[in-house]
C-alpha cells in the first residue's frame, strides 16, 4: 500500500491504518529506536507508541512524507526515553558517541557573537546540507539523524570505517566553520 492510501486510512479513522503502517514501517522505526536505545524491548515499545502518536497527530498534520513523519516521532520518543535512562545512568546505544562527535561542531567561544534561535539554526543547517555532496550528506544524516553505528554506515555505503569517520570529521569541521563564519554560538 502506498503512503497516500495509508494516510487516507488515518483520515478515515480506520484502524487498518495502524496495521498497514506496521507492515510497511515497523522495521524502519525499530532501526531508529534501536540505534538510540540499544534494546529490542524498549525499541518495540517506542515503535508501538509511534503508531499511537501518529494516530492522534495525523488529523492535524497531513504529512506527504510518511516515513519522515513516523521516523521523527520514533526518534523523539526514543531520545526522550534515552534521556530518562541517561539520568538513571543507564545510557546505551549511539547517542553518547554521536554527542561526543558533535562537540567538533561547536564554534570557539571567542569567535561567536550571537546566540541564535532554533529556526535560524535550522535554516543554516538546511543550507549546509543542500550544498553538501549527496553521499556525504547521506552519511551525515545516517550518523546524526538515524544515529546509525559507524560500522553499519560503512557497510551500507561500501566504504571503510576509517573513511566513514574521516568523512564525518570533515563534515563536522565544515559545519563548525560555517557557524563560526556566521558568528553564531549555540
Q: Where does this chain bind another protein (CB under 8 A)? A: 27-28, 31, 63, 65, 67-69, 71-72, 75-76, 79, 95, 98-100, 102-103, 105-106, 118, 121-122, 125-126, 129, 134, 137-142, 144-146, 148, 152, 155-158, 186
Residues 98 and 165 sit within 8 Å (Cβ to Cβ): no
The smaller minimum CB distance to another protein, of residues 53 and 142, is found at 142
Name the minimum Å distance from CB 18 to another protein: 20
Could you give the 3-state DSSP secondary structure of residue 10?
helix
Burial of 56 (0-12, 13-18, 19+ CB in 10 A): exposed
What single-letter DSSP state applies at residue 61?
-
The smaller minimum CB distance to another protein, of residues 18 and 95, is found at 95
The smaller minimum CB distance to another protein, of residues 54 and 79, is found at 79
Q: Give dist(CA 177, CA 131) in Å, integer.
A: 14
Name the minimum Å distance from CB 149 to another protein: 11
Name the minimum Å distance from CB 23 to another protein: 14
The smaller minimum CB distance to another protein, of residues 14 and 120, is found at 120
Q: Which residues pair with 114 in a beta bridge?
A: 184
Unique residue bearing C-alpha cell 517506542: 46
Amino acid at each position: 500500500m502506498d503512503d497516500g492510501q495509508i494516510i487516507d486510512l488515518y483520515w478515515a479513522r480506520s484502524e487498518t491504518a495502524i496495521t498497514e503502517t506496521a507492515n510497511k514501517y515497523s522495521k524502519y522505526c525499530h532501526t531508529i529506536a534501536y540505534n538510540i536505545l540499544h534494546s529490542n524491548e524498549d525499541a518495540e515499545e517506542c515503535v508501538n507508541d509511534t503508531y499511537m502518536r501518529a494516530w492522534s497527530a495525523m488529523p492535524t498534520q497531513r504529512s506527504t512524507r510518511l516515513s519522515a513523519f513516523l521516523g521523527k516521532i520514533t526518534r523523539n520518543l526514543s531520545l526522550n526515553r534515552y534521556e530518562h535512562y541517561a539520568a538513571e545512568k543507564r545510557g546505551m546505544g549511539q547517542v553518547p558517541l554521536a554527542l561526543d562527535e558533535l562537540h567538533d561542531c561547536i564554534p570557539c567561544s571567542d569567535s561567536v557573537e550571537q546566540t541564535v534561535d532554533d529556526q535560524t539554526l535550522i535554516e543554516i543547517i538546511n543550507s549546509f546540507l543542500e550544498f553538501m555532496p549527496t553521499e556525504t550528506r547521506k552519511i551525515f544524516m545516517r550518523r546524526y539523524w538515524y544515529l546509525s553505528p559507524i560500522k553499519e554506515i560503512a557497510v551500507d555505503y561500501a566504504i571503510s570505517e576509517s573513511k566513514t569517520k574521516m568523512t564525518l570529521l570533515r563534515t563536522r569541521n565544515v559545519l563548525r566553520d560555517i557557524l563560526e563564519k556566521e558568528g553564531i554560538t549555540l
